[in-house]
Structure 1
Amino acid sequence: MNQPIYSRRPTNNSAIPDTIFIILIANGLLFSLQQFAPRLTFEFLALQPIVSPSGYITPSFIPWQLITYGFLHSTNSLMHIIFNMLMLWMFGRDIEMLMGPRRFLIYYITCIVGAGIIQLLVGVLQGGGVPTVGASGGVFGILLAYGMAFPERRIMLIFPPIPMKAKYFVALLGLLEFYLGFSGVNNGVANFAHLGGMLFGYWLMRFWKKD
């Protein structure tokens, strides 16, 4: 899927493509719901672990949580939802224009579900897990797609403020998440879920390319 940059660029009328707009609205609405019914949304919509720290199967996991957790965010900091939605808007626009609205939605949801599956498996291997929320799995999948679709594009990093080709940025990001996940330095962040989003995104991109 190493395609050249296409001619139609986002304009003032298409700065937020249809699917991304819907995703942004859905995240905003559910974030608002979290403020009014935090316990209800957390128990039924956050991704609950399937194994407790004591090794028992928990009844709190419900299959739909593999999707709904990706539309919830931490209520302790606005930066969680702001950063994820900003990254989705920045990198997702070109990917939606490339894939089309329907395929983009399939890709995004696949990355969220894949990230959730990996997070659950890691929880089992670690002898228990913690509830997970956030769109990061989908966002990391979008970043992976961006690096594959536009590998030669240059991205200006925030820190350090240097330009870097998208393919190197994505590779570096993946290695960083791998290190943080195994080292435990970034405790409290679902690094393996991020990797899961990238992994499932890569598989789907390869499948579509063959198809």
Structure 2
Amino acid sequence: MNKITDGIKHLIIINVILFIAPQFLKLDLTNVLALHFPKNSHFGFWQYLTHMFMHASFPHILFNMYGLWAFGTPLEQMWGKKKFLFFYFSAGLGAGLIYTLVNYYQFNGIYDLFINAGLNNADVISILEKGSTAGFNVNAAITQAQFDKIYSLYHMPAVGASGAVYGVLVAFGLYFKDAKLALLFFPVPIAAKYFIPLMILGDLFFGMTNYSVGSVAHFAHIGGALIGFIIAYYWKKNQFKIS
């Protein structure tokens, strides 16, 4: 077993504290620390950082922290603590930004339907806050599925270290491409150079279709993987060393 490295140890400790402490203290930090849609009144720019330390359930934090330890440990041993943390937070911040950009694109597509139906911005926000189109004649312009989608985009915050962990996973695959990996529901070992692209393609498929199960931020995963790939590829190509 890999001995836990300093940076990863501290990340896990902070994540565990922010998962357990609010439950004991009966605090709901979602509106403050989770990443909200920018038009939502609960949005704060700091949430691009803090959402990485929030988790929705025990399995959520368990799998993320396991992935951070399993795939991040050899990277921190190779890069050193400071550079690993720079990489980790870069991937996590990039994941949040790309997730927001994709949500904005989806949001604006439906938002324009409201505007074309004769509503103004205040009307649309009022509808989203109330969760109902009552009092507004938009039924012919907006389907129930479209309303459910824009309502979800507006209200559903993103939580978790998954974006950053996907960046770590991609970097692991670049540096240790022949390492054998497996999933609990598919326990057949596959080389990282095949396994990781398959996972990312799965996120892309589920993110662009209606087949996703639960509220998984697939484009945050893809965003973290993309930023992680860019940084790790550049470092590897330029023979990045610990300074």
- Give the aligned residue type for 2:91: C
Do structure 1's residue 141 and structure 2's residue 167 form an aligned pair? yes
Do structure 1's residue 172 and structure 2's residue 152 form an aligned pair? no
* Secondary structure in 1 matching 2:187: coil
Mapping for residues 43-58 of structure 1, pairs under 5 Å: 43-50=31-38, 57-58=39-40
What's the CA shift for 1:59?
Answer: 3.5
What's the CA shift for 1:34?
Answer: 2.9
- 2:64 is matched with 84
Q: Verify the 8 A CA contact 2:174 2:233 in the aligned structure 1.
A: no
Tell me, in whole angstroms, the C-alpha distance in 2 between the residues paired with 1:46 and 1:32.
16
- 2:6 is matched with 18
Tell me, in whole angstroms, the C-alpha distance in 1 between the residues paired with 2:27 and 2:218.
24
Tell me, in whole angstroms, the C-alpha distance in 1 between the residues paired with 2:198 and 2:22.
34
Q: Verify the 8 A CA contact 1:122 1:192 in the aligned structure 2.
A: yes
Tell me, in whole angstroms, the C-alpha distance in 2 between the residues paired with 1:156 and 1:165.
9
Mapping for residues 184-203 of structure 1, pairs under 5 Å: 184-186=210-212, 187-203=214-230
Tell me, in whole angstroms, the C-alpha distance in 1 between the residues paired with 2:198 and 2:78.
24
Structure 1: unaligned runs, 5 residues or longer: 1-8, 51-56
Structure 2: unaligned runs, 5 residues or longer: 108-149
Mapping for residues 50-129 of structure 1, pairs under 5 Å: 50=38, 57-74=39-56, 77-127=57-107, 128=150, 129=153
* Secondary structure in 1 matching 2:74: helix
How many residues in Structure 1 have an aligned counterpart in Structure 2?
190
What's the CA shift for 1:205?
Answer: 1.5
- 2:188 is matched with 162
- Give the aligned residue type for 1:66: Y
- Give the aligned residue type for 1:158: L
What's the CA shift for 1:120?
Answer: 0.8
Bigger radius of gyration: 2
Q: Verify the 8 A CA contact 2:92 2:164 in the aligned structure 1.
A: yes
Q: TM-score, normalised by structure 1?
A: 0.84
What's the CA shift for 1:163?
Answer: 1.7
What's the CA shift for 1:33?
Answer: 3.1
Q: Report which stretch shifted further, 152-161 or 176-185.
A: 152-161
Ranges of 4+ aligned residues in structure 1 off by more than 4 Å = none
- 1:5 is matched with none
Q: Verify the 8 A CA contact 2:180 2:190 in the aligned structure 1.
A: yes
Q: Verify the 8 A CA contact 1:157 1:164 in the aligned structure 2.
A: no
Q: TM-score, normalised by structure 2?
A: 0.74
